[in-house]
Amino acid sequence: MAEVRYESASRVYAGSPPVRAVDQLDLSVEDGEFLVLVGPSGSGKSTALRMLAGLEDIDEGTIRIGERDVTHVPPKGRDIAMVFQSYALYPHMTVGQNMGFALKLQGMPKAQITEKVTEAAKLLDLEKYLSRKPKALSGGQRQRVAMGRAIVRDPAVFLMDEPLSNLDAKLRVETRANIAALQRRLGTTTIYVTHDQVEAMTMGHRVAVLKDGLLQQCDTPRALYDTPANAFVAGFMGSPAMNLREARVAGNGVVLGGMNVPLSRDAFNAVARQNLQSVTLGVRPESLSLAPADTAQAFDLTVELVEELGADALVHGVITGEPGSRVVMRVDGRTPPALGQVVRVALRHPEEVHLFHPESGDRLI
Ligand code: ADP
Ligand code: MG
């Protein structure tokens, strides 16, 4: 077990212009922590993981595992085990042989290999399948064999790069819970890459959000959701995404669809200090609610789409009189409005808004 530290670590691919796939990454992962790296495709997640694994050069900065500087240590010497998206199981070997192969290469005695493989198979509920070949397994079972191969090595750090992306939706949900539980049991420091923000939120002790090779924020799922550091994180974490729009500053508040949203004193001070005429206003879908038609502090929404999810429904619409101003809100599933209806929409609480700088996107307070 070990702590992992990226210190201003960069990977720059040659080209014109060069690609800073990972740009001055500063990130500490605690001993035993489950850290998720999340971001859109091409944001540098795999590169960051591969740098730690030793599969990618580190062009600037340092990477440490425990107290050891591993920046120039070859992959073999880093005491890590990686699970990839493609499990890359050896088709001609049984499950047991696949799981024990790395140990055999290390020259571990056969009896000890069998012991380790059996132990891992128990943990992963694979005991019945040890003598099968991979082709006789389901996708979920193959995924577990890939996990088993990493577990038997008892590494200081597990690295996982989108290990669930080949599974169907239902199995993915099940498996992510199993991986999280397994990690808790083993207590091995784990860095897990995904582009799926739901996976990130549900699995990570902390989540690091990457965009264009740059770390945007690293915090607990709750903190990312409640206090996103910028408009990108705000829009990326949460499903459906936060409503984000430019809103004019007027008096002590900002204007949304003709509704005046009062600002807290701190928010108002931040706006005044930077002399902003407008802000990027963020409102989560669940922070909006249907209101009686005569509600003063509210706006009219023309309903364009209703997605019924059962317990609740997502109402998509356009602010009446503001073409192109799309808004999504979450309402009670039993009484959703009808398509084409105009509904009155209010903020659940005025403090449930997020304010970002209109140009930089940085959180104002
Ligand atoms: P992610 O895993 O988040 O989808 P990657 O780490 O694979 O992103 O890629 C990050 C960036 O680096 C992308 O812009 C990608 O095109 C670029 N990149 C990745 N591998 C190479 C390579 N071998 N040569 C040049 N550019 C690369
Ligand atoms: Mg990737």
- Write the pLDDT tens digit of every residue in 169-202: 999 999 999 999 999 999 999 999 999 999 999 9
Domains of the chain: 4-236 (3.40.50.300), 243-356 (2.40.50.140)
Residue nearest to atom 21 of ligand 1 (CA): 13
CA distance 264 to 188: 43
**Is the distance from CB of 42 to CB of 78 less than 8 angstroms?**
no
| Atom number, ligand 1, closest to the C-alpha of residue 14 | 25
Region label for 8, one of left (φ > 0), alpha (ψ between -120 and 50) or beta (otherwise):
left
Which numbered ligand comes closest to the C-alpha of 22? 1
Q: Does the CB atom of residue 10 touch ligand 1 within 6 A?
A: no
Query: 329 has which bridge partners?
Result: 315
Under 8 Å CB-to-CB from 286, ≥6 apart: which residues?
329, 330, 348
pTM higher than 0.85, yes or no? Answer: yes
Burial class for 125, CB neighbours closer than 10 Å (0-12, 13-18, 19+): exposed
**Is the distance from CB of 354 to CB of 283 less than 8 angstroms?**
yes
**Distance from residue 50's CA to the centre of ligand 2 (Å):** 10
Pair of tokens at residue 162? 């989108």
Which numbered ligand comes closest to the C-alpha of 57? 1
Q: What is the pLDDT of residues 61-110, one digit of tens each?
A: 999 999 999 999 999 999 999 998 888 899 999 999 999 999 999 999 99
Under 8 Å CB-to-CB from 315, ≥6 apart: which residues?
301, 303, 305, 306, 328, 329, 330, 331, 336, 337, 343
CA distance 94 to 132: 5
Q: What is the pLDDT of residues 262-277, one digit of tens each?
A: 999 999 999 999 999 9
Q: Report the b/e string of 250-273 with b at 16+ CB within 10 A.
A: eeebbbbbebebebeeebbebbee
Region label for 281, one of left (φ > 0), alpha (ψ between -120 and 50) or beta (otherwise):
beta
**Could you give phi then psi for residue 238, rounded to 5 degrees?**
115, 140
pLDDT bucket at 1, cuts 50 / 70 / 90:
low
Nearest to 132 by CA among 119, 144, 123: 144
Q: What is the pLDDT of residues 215-260, one digit of tens each?
A: 999 999 999 999 999 999 999 999 999 999 999 999 999 999 889 9
Nearest to 103 by CA among 36, 50, 133, 148: 148
Query: 288 has which bridge partners?
Result: 347
Pair of tokens at residue 88? 């890359």
H-only helix segments in 197-241 = 197-203, 221-226, 231-236
Pair of tokens at residue 288? 């909006």
CA distance 328 to 258: 17
Q: What is the pLDDT of residues 141-154, one digit of tens each?
A: 999 999 999 999 99
**Distance from residue 211's CA to the centre of ligand 2 (Å):** 12
